[in-house]
Chains A and B, each alone.
Chain A
Amino acid sequence: MNENISCNQSKCLYCGGCVPICPRNSITLRETRIEIDDSCNRCLLCLRICPVGALEVLEAKA
């Protein structure tokens, strides 16, 4: 379901800034990785708050 939001690990500084902005509490920072769970409804607030532009929308695969 959530495969179209992804965290670009080469940009992410794992600050966790996306975590508290998520209205559905779908994001967890685990050590150096951002995990987005199935409850994500792609509101894209996390893309807007990320200081380094690490969160991306991937086009859904056909």
Chain B
Amino acid sequence: MREYDIVVVGAGPAGSMAAMEAAKQGASVLIIEKRQEAGSPVRCAEGVGKEGLLKTGIKIDNRWIANEVKGAKLIAPNRITVELSSEHAGNEVGFVLERKIFDRYLLCEAARCGADVMMKSSALGVIKDENGIKGIEVESSDGVHRIESKVVIACDGRESKVARSAGIDTKLKLKDTESCAEYLMVNVDYDKDFTHFYVGQCYAPGGYVWIFPKGDGIANVGIGVLGSKIGKRTGYPKELLDRFIKNNREFEAAKIVEHMSGTVPVALPLEKTYIDGLLIAGDAAHLTDPITGGGIINAMVSGKLAGSVAAKHVYEHTELSEYEKLWKKELESALIRDYIMKERFVNMSDNTLNLIADSLKDYRFSDLGMGGIIDAIKEKHPELMSELEGLI
């Protein structure tokens, strides 16, 4: 039997930030990771906003920045391109990361701050009694261990098995899940200064196709399709991605050098992200942005808050509910706004998207501002205003 103040499950961005923060505050921390290495296999488009990343307090390190972009290009079904500058493109522009290096870097930082690390160790479930969660049962290469702790922080991604084992409903609905396939490709002919998003049912029903350049003609090329829109007629996301690549001349000379897949919660956050002895952070708490699908920054922000509140709980008896208050203050309004927007966006017709793009094609978002966008649409396609009511 081993004991720690805090056990963190999962060594992704949420888990490493949680462990780092708790260890910095002097708590004894163990981080367990079921894989044999952090950050691999990648199941992510690797885009993060610059502002967001700076906000986490992590020092930018060129070892894990593959590329910095100036903005995003949105391509409508009619191929009209609308350009967004970095400050308008939300979570998904700024840097394209190397997650394999980034995740390992964060884990090393957590370990340097004093956290113990157990790799290749799976959480089997929480240990609980009538007063709450008392620790976690872990399966390692040398057998099953019971590890007691004052707080367990679940950062086990959108599988969210730890929270489930504690009795919290973490199931995702098809309509709240994007199913994603992605390739790392080389010899891709795209402007490396922009991330590219192909938006429309014709490309990706209820989602989008992305090209995130990593420099030297290398890019993450992926597709997200809303689960409820996948059927026998559409084919599965990897098939749709293959078709997209075949139909676009930018990929004529391109070669696939890595296969990736994943699913992303585009749901509302979990209704409860703490119980006695347990905090839930990052994708496990469904804190990914429902419009962009970006989850890294919210995972880091919520992980850090969870680590901080857990440490204060150990030392100062701060209530764990404080964690939920803090992440809600930081993230909730944007998540709810973007969920509402997503519910509208996933059913938007290609015709509507074409008309919006047509209204905006002569502008740059950076020159327009929100009011300007509405004015531009009103002027060119006033018939859209009723459909877009409440959305912009």
User: Which residues from chain A sit less than 8 Å from chain B, CB to CB?
Assistant: 13-17, 19-23, 25, 28-31, 45, 48-53
Which residues from B are CB-within-8-Å of A51? 179-181, 236-238, 261-263
**Contact across chains for B174 and A15 when beta carbons are under 8 A apart:** no
Contact of B262 (CB < 8 Å), options: A15, A23, A30: A15
Instruction: Say yes or no for B160: interface residue by CB 8 A criterion.
Output: yes
When each residue 179-200 of chain B gets 1 if its CB lies under 8 Å from chain A and 0 otherwise, what string results? 1110000000000000000000
**Contact across chains for A21 and B227 when beta carbons are under 8 A apart:** yes
A and B contact pairs by CB, cutoff 8 A, 7 listed: A13-B41, A13-B260, A20-B158, A20-B159, A50-B179, A51-B236, A52-B238
Residue of B nearest to A11 (CB): B238
Residue of B nearest to A16 (CB): B159
**Contact across chains for B179 and A17 when beta carbons are under 8 A apart:** yes
Instruction: Say yes or no for B259: interface residue by CB 8 A criterion.
Output: yes
**Given known contacts A23-B171, A25-B164, is B181 in contact with A49 (CB within 8 Å)?**
no
Interface residues of B in 148-163 (CB under 8 A from A): 157-161
- In the complex the two chains form, what is the Cα distance from A25 to B262 in whole Å? 18
Question: A5: shortest Cβ distance to chain B, in Å?
Answer: 16
Interface size on B, residues (CB 8 A): 34
Which residues from A are CB-within-8-Å of B128? none
Question: B207: shortest Cβ distance to chain A, in Å?
Answer: 11
Nearest 4 pairs of A and B residues by beta carbon: A17-B263, A51-B261, A53-B236, A19-B159
Interface SS of chain A: helix, strand, loop or mixed? loop
- In the complex the two chains form, what is the Cα distance from A21 to B178 in whole Å? 11
**Contact across chains for A14 and B41 when beta carbons are under 8 A apart:** yes
Contact of A15 (CB < 8 Å), options: B34, B164, B230, B261: B261
Residue of A nearest to B159 (CB): A19
**Contact across chains for A20 and B160 when beta carbons are under 8 A apart:** yes
Question: A47: shortest Cβ distance to chain B, in Å?
Answer: 9
**Contact across chains for A20 and B41 when beta carbons are under 8 A apart:** no
**Given known contacts A15-B262, A48-B231, is B238 in contact with A21 (CB within 8 Å)?**
no
Instruction: Say yes or no for B302: interface residue by CB 8 A criterion.
Output: no
Which residues from B are CB-within-8-Å of A19? 159, 161
**Contact across chains for A30 and B122 when beta carbons are under 8 A apart:** yes
Contact of A21 (CB < 8 Å), options: B35, B122, B177, B180: B177
Instruction: Say yes or no for B239: interface residue by CB 8 A criterion.
Output: yes
**Contact across chains for B171 and A13 when beta carbons are under 8 A apart:** no
**Contact across chains for B172 and A20 when beta carbons are under 8 A apart:** yes
Residue of A nearest to B238 (CB): A52
What would 14 more interface pairs be, CB under 8 Å, given A15-B43, A50-B236?
A20-B171, A20-B172, A20-B263, A21-B171, A23-B171, A28-B161, A31-B34, A48-B174, A48-B227, A51-B236, A51-B262, A52-B237, A53-B235, A53-B236
